[in-house]
Amino acid sequence: MSIRNLAIFAFGIVALGGVSGCRKNAGTVKADPLLAAYDSEPDWTDSTKMLPLGYQQAQGKRVFYQYCVWCHADATPAGPSNRSNLTPVPPLLNDGAALNTESDEFMQNIITLGGSAMGKSAMMPPYGRTLSAEEIRSVIAFTRAIAQPPYQPPGRPGSQYSAK
Amino acid sequence: MPAEEMGKVTDRMRFGLAVSSLLFVAVLAISPFKDYRREWKQYKRAYLRFAQTRPDTKRLTADYSPDIDQIWIPGMNVVDRCTTCHQGITQASLADNSAPQPFRAHPPIPHNVREWGCTICHRGQGPATEVAEAHESTLAWEQPALPTHFMQASCGTCHQSDLSETPQLVKGRQLLAALYCVGCHKLQGLERPAMLGPDLSSIGTKVSREWIYKWLKEPRTMVDKDGNVTVNGYETEEEPRMPKFRLSEDELKALSGYLSVQKAKSLAAYNISPAVVRSWSKNPELISQGELRFRQMFCSTCHSLAVTRAGETKLIGGNIGPELTKVGSKVNPDWLIAWLRDPEAYLPHTRMPRYGWSDEDLYKVTQYITTKLVDSDLLTSVPKLDPPTDQEVQLGRRLFTEKGCASCHAIEGISPQKDFGPGLSALGAKNASELEFGTAKIPHNLLSYIQAKLQDPVSVNPAARMPQYNWEPGDLDAVTTALLSMKGAPPTSALQNLVVPRKEASFQPTGSFAEVYERYKCYACHKFNGYGGDLAPDLTYEGSRAQRRWLVEFLKSPQTLRPTLILRMPQFNMSDKDATTLADYLSMVLEHPEVNPATIDTRQFTPAMATLGKQLYEVKYQCQSCHTIGGTGGYVGPNLSNAGGWLTPAWIEAWLENPQALVADTIEPHRNFTDEEIKALTAYLMTLKTGINAQKTAGISRGRPLAPGAGR
């Protein structure tokens, strides 16, 4: 066998080994975002659009539809909303213009302590003894998820790093 | 080669050997190189580089090791190496989306992910160390990771009692029960109820052969050209329980023939007093009076009707009983009268209550139903059918068993075939190789299989006997979730201990109360000690809540306490005796252990206290945002205009102290009232008294009648 043939053969093996060593399996399925979400909620301003919700946001949705929907939505599971009975009119939960500027801390406080404690309407009752702090956090997470215009978290610059 | 040159090493050979040795070393080096390049090692190094870019590098790398990480939980079949790549799952600072996968923290859930591992919830292969092998189903691995949308299935594997955190699973379980899947399939945690579909022993006295033919061909459901599911032509949210069986023309004729001769109990026709008929039959008000009575009795609480308002037709009313828009063209008028008088005589186990009818009401309402709730075109597509021949009846009888009708419907002389369909109690644990995909072009995994089978049973098995259901997208996913959750008995004792069993609630009253309770089917809408429907308030503590006198009045003439409701307590035309029997039992037996109405003396409430209470109600706490008094206030909570005539002071005090202690999921906020405020508010509320007057209803839209868990 000539050296040349031997060399070609050897390089072939090396190349084969190298290629198989570099095999990548990163081709994970590009899933439907709703399939990768725990739950979803229609965009209140466009019911054809579904917004994906994570676990915490989904728990917030559940708490919202039990406790908050009566005054903070236009339609309720039992029919008409109670909003029109109230002055000042409570904001819709997806009202980004009104709620995006409020900090998570403020939201946590007004739900926990009620409107009068935070200098707002006494018609907003305190829920700190009814809901757990975790449940209240989840409602805020849900609020942020459905906000229109969309909510941008303050502060922390997004990391430019990507895994691969 | 000459002999003298043997053994002599030429330069040429030397060179060859050198090259091949070098190559050999290079080939040997491939192995460590390949090892270095292994997928999980790349993620390990990537995590280190990533941690350098974060401010809390030290914390992020505190328990870093360059090796495979593993969560091993003996006894639970957990060997999860997922944390080898998913290294940040418990790092709080990696919770938001700025952290790239696979390093992002796991969102907060009720279980500690380090204690439970990953595959218990996410499925997939725990021991695998490559992305594809861990997450997808490959030839060697059969459990793909479950899409998050169906994750609640994993909760349900252990939590067989319902959790509020998993609405999709709960809905799926309810659908499995409501659609009577247990008729044919064994399902984990679902008992076969006493009655599934209606008993058909005497169906021949109720409907015609033509109607049966049409029903079997298209059981109410029709899909119009736009793909909307309609019931008798109206849009609906409800799916009829009866699915569509794929029956040929001959089979339709035979089955309808067989069913039309089922007259086990002959119809005992009731003759309405001729005097009533004489005085009303010519009265032009007859039909409108019948309709008024139909509404006043609140038949719509259980039955829906298609109503056209502002050019839009939709079903309005409840779904405990069947939809009635065209029932006048369906049932035999004599049967209708006999049925309304005594439903159980025709159908044991029915949830239809026995009303106290006067002949006049009975005549008016049945005339309204048979004149107005009709559709002359209902049976136009049905061919002419003569009385069935013996041959047809014989064939029909055979088909009744073969098609699985007997699994849900009783007929005298036919016993249901045991385990007609395959058991599904361990369906969620099946591997792809155990499933038949036929020629269906779907991914070969369990999730796709279940969805394909539910949507179109013959798509995966052309010989399937399973009938055709029409699914709302949400319903299909909910049922899929519930089925995926059923993984059979846990394989190890450690896992068996984790199962949270479903609580079986029952309420078995005795004595004269039981008879009245059973006659009016109180449990169809109300809950008692956890047993019963959830349409109306839970009555477990009603004796502590409501004054006995109010209960008697209410039962005789029910009026809603929530003005927006359209589904209300029916007007049973209850006798004094029945109302007293019920009220006595409620007041004496259904009491909260801590709330005893007898302990509060109402004389302690002074006008000054009531004045203070009114101030607290209106100014400090602004209760009017949710409650109405007189004509003003919100309608989230009950109308309190008659609080003093309705509630016991003991209940009001206990309620203000801590509403959730009385009704666990009530939406009334738990406030921090002082004892003095509680007394003042109670004193004020006890001054509010009106007669029980009719209150106007606002709103016509259909929906759940109560805020979930609302006190009343």
- Could you report the per-residue pLDDT of B601-628, keeping only the tens digit for each? 888 899 999 999 999 999 999 999 999 9
pLDDT at B565: 58
Contact A159 B102 (CB under 8 A): no
Give the lowest-confidence range in B451-455, B499-503, B697-701: B697-701
Q: Does residue B378 surpass a pLDDT of 80?
A: no
Q: Using an 8 Å Cβ cutoff, are B668 and A129 in contact? A: no
Interatomic CA distance for residues B419 and B465, integer angstroms: 13
Q: Does residue B287 surpass a pLDDT of 80?
A: yes
pLDDT at B701: 30
- Dihedral angle over CA of B222, B224, B226, B229, nearest 10: -20
Contact A79 B701 (CB under 8 A): yes
Closest residue to A21, CB basis, from B19, B37, B634 = B37
Contact B39 A24 (CB under 8 A): yes
Give the lowest-confidence range in B64-78, B162-176, B352-366: B64-78
pLDDT tens-digit series, residues B636-681 = 888 899 999 999 999 999 999 999 999 988 999 999 999 999 999 9
pLDDT at A162: 46
Interatomic CA distance for residues B396 and B376, integer angstroms: 28
Binned at pLDDT 50, 70 and 90, residue A138 comes out as very high
pLDDT at B35: 87
CA distance B433 to chain A (A): 21
Mean pLDDT of A38-42: 92
Interatomic CA distance for residues B427 and B486, integer angstroms: 6
Mean pLDDT of B354-383: 89
Binned at pLDDT 50, 70 and 90, residue A6 comes out as low
Contact B564 A18 (CB under 8 A): no
Write down the mean pLDDT value for chain B.
86
DSSP per-residue codes, chain A: --HHHHHHHHHHHHHHHHHHHT----------TTTTSSEEEEETTEEEEEEEE-HHHHHHHHHIIIIIHHHHSSEETTEE-SGGG-SSPPPPTTBHHHHTTS-HHHHHHHHHH-TGGGTS-TTS---TTTS-HHHHHHHHHHHHHH-BSPP---S-PPP-----
Question: What contacts B224, CB < 8 A, 6 or more positions away?
Answer: B230
Q: Using an 8 Å Cβ cutoff, are B165 and B110 in contact? A: yes
Contact A28 B168 (CB under 8 A): no
pLDDT at B320: 85
pLDDT tens-digit series, residues B418-444 = 778 899 999 998 888 888 888 888 888
pLDDT at B49: 92
User: Which residues of chain A are within 8 Å of residue B98 when distances are taken between CB atoms?
Assistant: 156-159
Structure tokens at B557: 């003439």
Residue A49 backbone dihedrals phi, psi, to 5 degrees: -100, 130
Which residues 112-141 in chain A show a CB within 8 A of chain B? 121-123, 125-127, 129-130, 134
Q: Using an 8 Å Cβ cutoff, are B600 and B648 in contact? A: yes
**CA Rg value for chain B:** 34
Contact A129 B669 (CB under 8 A): yes
Q: Indicate the DSSP class of residue B630.
A: T
Q: Using an 8 Å Cβ cutoff, are B203 and B250 in contact? A: no
As to burial, measured by CB atoms within 10 angstroms (0-12 exposed, 13-18 middle, 19+ buried), residue B117 is: buried
Mean pLDDT of B546-574: 80
Residue B235 backbone dihedrals phi, psi, to 5 degrees: -70, 145
Give the lowest-confidence range in A16-30, B424-438, B516-530: A16-30
Nearest to B48 by CA among B63, B33, B70, B69: B63
Binned at pLDDT 50, 70 and 90, residue B702 comes out as very low
| Helices B274-281 + B359-372 axis angle, to 10 | 50
Share of chain B above pLDDT 70, in %: 91
Q: Count contacts between A and B (CB, < 8 Å).
A: 179
Q: Does residue A164 surpass a pLDDT of 50?
A: no
pLDDT at A8: 67
Which run of H or of E encompasses B632? Answer: strand B632-633
pLDDT at A14: 53
Q: Using an 8 Å Cβ cutoff, are B37 and B20 in contact? A: no
Nearest to B669 by CA among B614, B643, B707, B630: B707
CA distance A97 to chain B (A): 23
Cα dist from A5 to A2, A12, B12, B543, whole Å: 5, 10, 15, 99
Contact B148 A70 (CB under 8 A): no
Contact A25 B34 (CB under 8 A): no
Interatomic CA distance for residues B356 and A87, integer angstroms: 46
Q: Using an 8 Å Cβ cutoff, are B606 and B649 in contact? A: no
Among chain B residues, CA nearest to A129 = B670
Binned at pLDDT 50, 70 and 90, residue A32 comes out as confident
pLDDT tens-digit series, residues B291-311 = 999 988 889 888 888 887 777
Contact B147 A36 (CB under 8 A): yes
Give the lowest-confidence range in A22-36, A84-98, B135-149, B693-707: B693-707
Contact A134 B108 (CB under 8 A): yes
Mean pLDDT of B15-29: 92
Among chain A residues, CA nearest to B633 = A85
Among chain B residues, CA nearest to A71 = B636
Q: Using an 8 Å Cβ cutoff, are B461 and B439 in contact? A: no
Give the lowest-confidence range in A78-82, B188-192, B634-638, B707-711: B707-711
Give the lowest-confidence range in A94-98, B191-195, B502-506, B708-712: B708-712
The residue of A39, A124, A131 whose CB has the most chain B CBs within 10 angstroms, and thus the best one to mutate to test that interface, is A39
CA distance B77 to chain A (A): 25
Structure tokens at B364: 């008016």
Q: Using an 8 Å Cβ cutoff, are B690 and B641 in contact? A: yes
pLDDT at A104: 93
User: Which residues of chain B are within 8 Å of residue A72 when distances are taken between CB atoms?
Assistant: none
Interatomic CA distance for residues B267 and A148, integer angstroms: 62
User: Which residues of chain A are within 8 Å of residue B672 when distances are taken between CB atoms?
Assistant: 126, 129
> Is the CB of A83 inside 8 Å of chain B's CB atoms?
no
Binned at pLDDT 50, 70 and 90, residue A11 comes out as low
Interatomic CA distance for residues B642 and B485, integer angstroms: 48
pLDDT at B239: 58
Interatomic CA distance for residues B442 and B450, integer angstroms: 11
**Tally of CB atoms within 10 A around B709:** 18
User: Which residues of chain B are within 8 Å of residue A34 when distances are taken between CB atoms?
Assistant: 149
Mean pLDDT of B11-23: 92
pLDDT at A26: 40
pLDDT tens-digit series, residues B201-249 = 999 999 999 999 988 887 765 555 555 555 555 555 555 678 888 899 9
User: Which residues of chain A are within 8 Å of residue B96 when distances are taken between CB atoms?
Assistant: 153, 156
Among chain A residues, CA nearest to B34 = A21
Contact B167 A62 (CB under 8 A): yes
- HSE on the CB side for B403, CA within 13 Å? 21
> Is the CB of B349 inside 8 Å of chain A's CB atoms?
no
pLDDT at B63: 85
Which residues 77-96 in chain B show a CB within 8 A of chain A? 96
Contact B100 A39 (CB under 8 A): no
Q: Does residue B504 surpass a pLDDT of 80?
A: no
Provide the pairing of β-strand B304-309 with B312-317. Answer: antiparallel
ipTM of the complex in this document: 0.82
CA distance B23 to chain A (A): 6
pLDDT at B374: 87
- Which residue in this structure is represented by tokens 């406790």? A67
Interatomic CA distance for residues B631 and B628, integer angstroms: 7
pLDDT tens-digit series, residues B42-85 = 999 999 999 999 888 888 888 888 899 999 988 777 899 999 99
Contact B27 A82 (CB under 8 A): no
Q: Does residue B699 surpass a pLDDT of 80?
A: no
